[in-house]
Amino acid sequence: MENILVLTHADESGSALSKSSLEAITAGKELAARLSATLIIGVVAKDAAAAAQALASTGARVLAVSGEAFALARYASDAAATEALCRAANATIVLAPGTSRFTRVAAGVAHRLGGFIDTHITALGGKETVEATRWFYRQRVEAVISRDVRPWFLLLDAGTHAAFAGESQPIQIEQVTVSLTAMRTTVSGFRAPAQDAQTIRPDAKMLFVAGAGWTKKQPDGQVHVTEAGELILGFLRATGASLGSSKSLVDQGGEGNSVLPFLTHLNQIGQTGSTPRHQKGLSTCCHGEEPHVVGWRFIGDRRAISLDPNCGWTRGKADVVYVADAFPVIAKLNALLEAKKA
Amino acid sequence: MANALHIVVCAGIVPDPLQTLEPVTGPAGPGLKNEMVLPAVLDPWAACALYEAAALAAKNPGSSQNPSRVWLVSLGPKAKLQQVMMTVAQKVPFELVPIDGPIGGFPDAHSTAAILSETIAALPGLDRAKLLLFGGWESATRGAGVTLQLVGERLSITDQFQGVDQIEVRDDGSFEVLERVEGGKHQVSVCSGAPAVLGWATGNLAEPRNNPQVGMNNMRTIMPALAKANAVKLEANGLSYVSVSLPKQQRETRVVKDMTPDQIAAELVEWIGAE
Q: How close is the nearest chain B Cα to the Cα of A174, in Å? A: 27
Q: Do A9 and A93 belong together in one domain?
A: yes
With 80 as the cut, is the pLDDT of residue B274 above it? Answer: no
Q: Do A200 and A66 belong together in one domain?
A: no
- Count CA within 13 A, CB hemisphere, residue A259: 18
**Rounded CA gap, B1 and A11, in Å?**
40
pLDDT band at residue B47 under the 50/70/90 scheme = very high
Which residues face A323 on adjacent strands? A306
Residue B275 confidence (pLDDT)? 46
Nearest residue in chain A measured CA to CA from B32: A141
Flag the least confident range among A13-22, A310-319, B3-12: A310-319
Assigned domain for A186 exists: no
The DSSP output letter for B191 is E
Assigned domain for A280 exists: yes
Enumerate the residues of chain A whose CB falls inside 8 A of the CB of residue B191: 184-185
Given A147, A175, A203, the domain boundary residue is: A175
Q: Do A161 and A199 belong together in one domain?
A: no
Among A187, A154, A153, A169, which residue's Cα sits nearest to residue A57?
A169
Q: Is the ipTM of this complex over 0.90?
A: yes
Given A142, A175, A208, the domain boundary residue is: A175
* Choice between A99 and B247, residue whose per-residue pLDDT is larger: A99
Q: Do A41 and A158 belong together in one domain?
A: yes
CB contact under 8 A, A188 and B15: no
Helix (H, G, I), strand (E, B) or coil at A237: helix
pLDDT (average), residues A24-35: 97
Q: How many domains does chain A have?
A: 2
CB contact under 8 A, A144 and B237: no
Q: Do A10 and A141 belong together in one domain?
A: yes
Residue A254 confidence (pLDDT)? 60
Q: Do A244 and A161 belong together in one domain?
A: no
Nearest residue in chain B measured CA to CA from A199: B184
Q: Which one of A117, A188, A319 has the shortest CB-CB distance to B188?
A: A188
* Choice between A255 and B5, residue whose per-residue pLDDT is larger: B5
Nearest residue in chain B measured CA to CA from A185: B191
State pLDDT tens for residues B128-167. Answer: 999 999 999 999 999 999 999 999 999 999 999 999 999 9
Which residues face B197 on adjacent strands? B133, B160
Q: Do A14 and A162 belong together in one domain?
A: yes
- Count CA within 13 A, CB hemisphere, residue B14: 28
Among A266, A278, A272, which residue's Cα sits nearest to residue A291?
A272
Residue A256 confidence (pLDDT)? 57
Alpha-carbon distances of B157 from A89, A309, B29, B130, B133, rounded to whole Å: 25, 53, 33, 11, 9
CB contact under 8 A, A266 and B184: yes
Q: How close is the nearest chain B Cα to the Cα of A103, in Å? A: 8
Pairing status of strand A131-136 against strand A141-147: antiparallel
Helix (H, G, I), strand (E, B) or coil at A334: helix
State pLDDT tens for residues B203-224. Answer: 988 889 999 999 999 999 999 9
Among A330, A306, A331, A329, which residue's Cα sits nearest to residue A318?
A306
Alpha-carbon distances of A235 from A216, A227, A238, A242, B26, rounded to whole Å: 20, 12, 5, 10, 49
Q: Which one of A107, A144, A147 has the shortest CB-CB distance to B150?
A: A107
Enumerate the residues of chain A whose CB falls inside 8 A of the CB of residue B145: 103, 107, 119-120
Helix (H, G, I), strand (E, B) or coil at A263: coil
State pLDDT tens for residues A235-278. Answer: 999 999 999 988 778 777 665 566 788 888 888 887 778 888 89
**Rounded CA gap, B19 and A49, in Å?**
51
Mean of the per-residue pLDDT values of chain A = 91
- Count CA within 13 A, CB hemisphere, residue A118: 31
CB contact under 8 A, A322 and B23: no
Q: Is A15 exposed, middle or buried (0-12, 13-18, 19+ CB in 10 A)?
A: middle
Q: What are phi and psi of B135, to 5 degrees?
A: 180, 180
| Amino acid at the residue A154 | L
Among B89, B78, B119, which residue's Cα sits nearest to residue B221?
B89
**Rounded CA gap, A39 and A211, in Å?**
46
Assigned domain for A182 exists: no
What part of A 245-274 touches B (C-beta under 8 Å)?
251, 254-255, 265-268, 271-273
Q: Do A151 and A26 belong together in one domain?
A: yes
Residue A308 is part of which domain span? Answer: 195-341
All structural domains of chain B, each given as residue ranges with its CATH number in brackets, are 6-231 (3.40.50.620)
Q: Do A25 and A162 belong together in one domain?
A: yes
Q: Provide the sign of the torsion angle of the four alpha carbons B192, B197, B199, B204, taken in this order.
A: positive
Q: Do A137 and A244 belong together in one domain?
A: no
- Concatenated DSSP letters of A105-170: HHHHHHHHTT-EEEEEEEEEE-SSS-EEEEEETTTTEEEEEEE-SSSEEEEEPTTSSPPP------
Mutate which: A128, A184, A231, vs B, most B CBs within 10 A: A184
Find the helix or strand (DSSP H, E) in which B54 lies.
helix B44-59
With 90 as the cut, is the pLDDT of residue B267 above it? Answer: yes
Q: Which one of B45, B251, B268 has the shortest CB-CB distance to A272?
A: B45
Q: Which one of B21, B161, B265 has the shortest CB-CB distance to A137?
A: B21
Q: Do A202 and A155 belong together in one domain?
A: no
With 80 as the cut, is the pLDDT of residue A195 above it? Answer: no
CB contact under 8 A, B265 and A191: no
Domain CATH for A102? 3.40.50.620
**Rounded CA gap, B30 and B20, in Å?**
16
pTM above 0.80, yes or no: yes
**Rounded CA gap, A212 and A245, in Å?**
8
Share of chain B above pLDDT 70, in %: 98
Given A175, A205, A220, the domain boundary residue is: A175
pLDDT (average), residues B37-55: 95
**Which residues are CB-contacts of B215 (< 8 A; sequence separation ≥ 6)?**
B89, B90
Enumerate the residues of chain B whose CB falls inside 8 A of the CB of residue A207: none
Enumerate the residues of chain B whose CB falls inside 8 A of the CB of residue A143: 23, 30, 106, 241-245
pLDDT (average), residues A185-202: 85
pLDDT band at residue B16 under the 50/70/90 scheme = confident
Q: What are phi and psi of B144, to 5 degrees?
A: -85, -30
Q: How close is the nearest chain B Cα to the Cα of A187, in Å? A: 4
Q: What angle do CA A131, A133, A139 make, to 5 degrees?
A: 165
Is the CB of A21 inside 8 Å of chain B's CB atoms?
A: no
Assigned domain for A203 exists: yes
CB contact under 8 A, A333 and B154: no
Assigned domain for A262 exists: yes
Q: Do A49 and A144 belong together in one domain?
A: yes
| Amino acid at the residue B233 | K
Which residues face B24 on adjacent strands? B31
The helices-and-strands tally (H runs, E runs) of chain A is 8, 15
**Which residues are CB-contacts of B202 (< 8 A; sequence separation ≥ 6)?**
A265, A268, A272, A273, B45, B48, B165
Nearest residue in chain A measured CA to CA from B20: A140
Q: How far is CA A93 from the centre of its chain?
A: 22
Residue B273 confidence (pLDDT)? 87
Assigned domain for A308 exists: yes
Q: What angle do CA A296, A141, B81 make, to 5 degrees?
A: 110
CB contact under 8 A, A184 and B186: no
Domain CATH for A200? 3.40.50.1220
Assigned domain for A89 exists: yes
Alpha-carbon distances of A2 from A50, A115, A126, A150, rounded to whole Å: 28, 14, 14, 9
Assigned domain for A296 exists: yes
Find the helix or strand (DSSP H, E) in which B142 lies.
none
- Count CA within 13 A, CB hemisphere, residue B213: 0
Q: How far is CA B127 from the centre of its chain?
A: 22
Q: Which one of A136, A186, A297 has the shortest CB-CB distance to B141?
A: A136
Q: Which one of B17, B159, B247 has the shortest CB-CB distance to A271?
A: B17
Enumerate the residues of chain B whose CB falls inside 8 A of the CB of residue A140: 21, 246-247
State pLDDT tens for residues B69-100. Answer: 999 999 999 999 999 999 999 999 999 999 99
